Amino acid sequence: MKKKWWHDKVAYQIYPKSFLDSNGDGIGDLRGIISKLDYLKDLGIGILWISPVYVSPCADQGYDIADYYGIDPKFGTMEDMDRLLAEAKKRDIAVLMDLVVNHCSDEHEWFQKALKDPEGEYGQYFYFAKKKDGKLPCNWRSYFGGSVWENVEGTDWYYLHMFHKKQPDLNWENPKLREEIYKMMNWWLDKGIAGFRVDAIMNIKKPLPFQDYPADREDGLCNVGGILGSQEGLRDFLNEMHEKTTKPHHAFSVGEVFGLDDSDISRFIGDDAYFTSIFDFRQNVAGQTMLGWYDWKAPTPDEYKECCFTSQKVSEGVGFFSNIIENHDEPRGVSHYLPEYAQNEKGKKLLGMMYFMLKGLPFIYQGQELGMENCAFPSIEAIDDVSSRDEYQRCLKVGLNEEEALKVVSHYSRDNVRTPFQWNDEKNGGFTTGTPWLMVNPQYKEINAASQIGREGSIYEFYKSMTTYHDSSVWQDVYRHKADVGMLYIKLTVIDDVLVVSFKEL
């Protein structure tokens, strides 16, 4: 493996809506991020992934884009974005934009034009179909519940959406659409971003022609995620995208890739693969079933360890995974993975230590460095996320009562990680002077940045020492060595209150 600029970096994901509000409207924004670049620099961050800030009606919190070339006014302006890029550059922080190209918003100009003429030029940018013999083209269930087919009001046309009905899927089979996407990616790369986090990318290739699959629930539908995997033809799209955008720009890309066969990893990461890296979700998906959140279980510590070992082995000599404990779609890792008895500062640090010691690129999700926990939502109304609302209904349907349903959803809800960042113990945790768009986790009085920065033994200081270590020559020697020789056994011992880390080849 050739040494790359990003091998020794630590990355950080910002969920802009909930990071810091600079103007009191209750919504985090680009100026908020700019004002905290020094915080990120101090923490030792070298790569920043910013969740979507493009123009969006926010049916799925920005993952429904209405204009790829514009910044949504609630987040700021393109001038703010340019300033963010310039200020990040001064601090040697590379910025990744979120690339959401499996679908766009139904409010995007392309879709608006397509609606007027589903058989015309822009209709070909999407998937439109009519019922045949009274039947929809296929029985797939959208990720957010219900059929993937939505009727165009007042017509007999239907369009495909794997996610929310306000997120129509783009038709990657159409070369014109693909060229539009590449043009847009190159526009952003020319602007000076370092690359992309690539959203939901395994979905871009649909198994065609559309057909039914065996139903996996009583609604007669089948989970769309289960039928994807490495589709025939997906590779051609990914290869073309790489050749025409990221490769000529020497850009960084990290794919949100689910359901990949381990034997295919070398095509996805490594020298001249489609992506620079992909997220390793092995432990995140452990314990999940097709039935829904009510049926999911967190992996035990042993299962967690097994996931880590498998991932380290399968990526050996191939490339680097991007390692996460949580992201904007997952519950807080410390609430999910740690057994209750270990949900304390020591346990949180141990979990952090585990992942920093893995080969790969660590991504910290905002607030993880403080040990932020899941939020105790008082009711389903306090939750905004579309998938949580669907899963809540699902719980009721299978017979749970409201209290039980709320308990399930409170554990898995994506809003657990989307509550405002806890900067200090003042009103709204210092996130906004206005009314926050989503409730602040009541724990902000105890868990916040101000109380941890500079406090010896705090989780923040621990994370900071880990990023420093990651960037040190000692670690880099081990790291390189690790890349060459394979698995290492890492032993952690506490001697006289000092954590001793020793390495041994396996």
In DSSP terms, 223 is beta-bridged to 141
Give the residue nearest to Ca ion (CB): 29
- Supply the minimum distance, in Å, between the C-beta of residue 285 and Ca ion: 34
212 binds ligand GLC (CB under 6 A): no
Query: Of 322, 326, 432, which is closest to residue 372 (Cα–Cα)?
Result: 326
- Per-residue binder mask for ligand GLC (CB under 6 A), 8-47, x = binder: ----------------------------------------
Interface mask toward ligand GLC for 145-184; x: CB under 6 A: ------------------x---------------------
Q: Residue count at the site for Ca ion (CB under 5 A)?
A: 5
- State which amino acid sits at residue 455: R
Nearer Cβ to ligand GLC (6/281): 281
Q: Does 60 bind ligand GLC (CB under 6 A)?
A: yes
CA–CA distance, 20 with 23 (Å, rounded to integer): 9
Contact of residue 21 among Ca ion, ligand GLC, none (CB under 5-8 Å per partner type): Ca ion
SS3 content of the chain, % helix, strand, coil (to 5): 40, 15, 45
Tell me: does residue 21 bind Ca ion (CB under 5 A). yes
| Number of other CB atoms surrounding residue 3 within 10 Å | 10
Tokens of 226: 């289960």
Could you tell which of Ca ion, ligand GLC, none binds residue 240, using a CB distance below 5 to 8 A set by kind?
none
From 21, 150, 256, 280, active-site residue: 256
Which backbone phi and psi does 493 adopt, to 5 degrees? -130, 145
Nearer to Ca ion, 388 or 432 (CB): 432
Active site residue 256: yes
Angle at 205 between CA 199 and CA 209, to 5 degrees: 150
Site string for ligand GLC, 234-263 (x = CB under 6 A): ----------------------x-------
The binder of 106, among Ca ion, ligand GLC, none, by C-beta within 5 to 8 A per type, is: none
Residue 52 Cβ vs Ca ion, minimum distance, rounded to whole Å: 16
User: DSSP secondary-structure letter at 169?
Assistant: B
In 270-424, which residue ranges form alpha helices assigned H by DSSP?
282-285, 301-314, 333-336, 345-356, 386-397, 402-412
Residue keyed to tokens 């959401």: 100
Based on the shown chain and the rule CB under 6 A, indicate whether residue 384 belongs to the binding site for ligand GLC: no
Rounded distance, CA 447 to CA 270, Å? 39
From the list ligand GLC, Ca ion, none, pick the one residue 200 interacts with, judged by a Cβ distance below 5 to 8 Å according to partner type: ligand GLC
**Tokens 């690790």 belong to which residue?**
482
- The helix/strand/coil state of 505 is strand
Residues in contact with 54: Cβ distance below 8 Å, sequence separation at least 6, in sequence order: 62, 65, 66, 67, 68, 69, 70, 71, 72
Identified binder of ligand GLC from the candidate list 49, 63, 275, 479, rule CB under 6 A: 63
Catalytic, 179? Answer no
Q: Catalytic amino acids?
A: 199, 256
The residues that touch Ca ion, with contacts defined as CB under 5 A, are: 21, 23, 25, 27, 29
The residues that touch ligand GLC, with contacts defined as CB under 6 A, are: 60, 63, 100, 163, 199-200, 256, 328-329
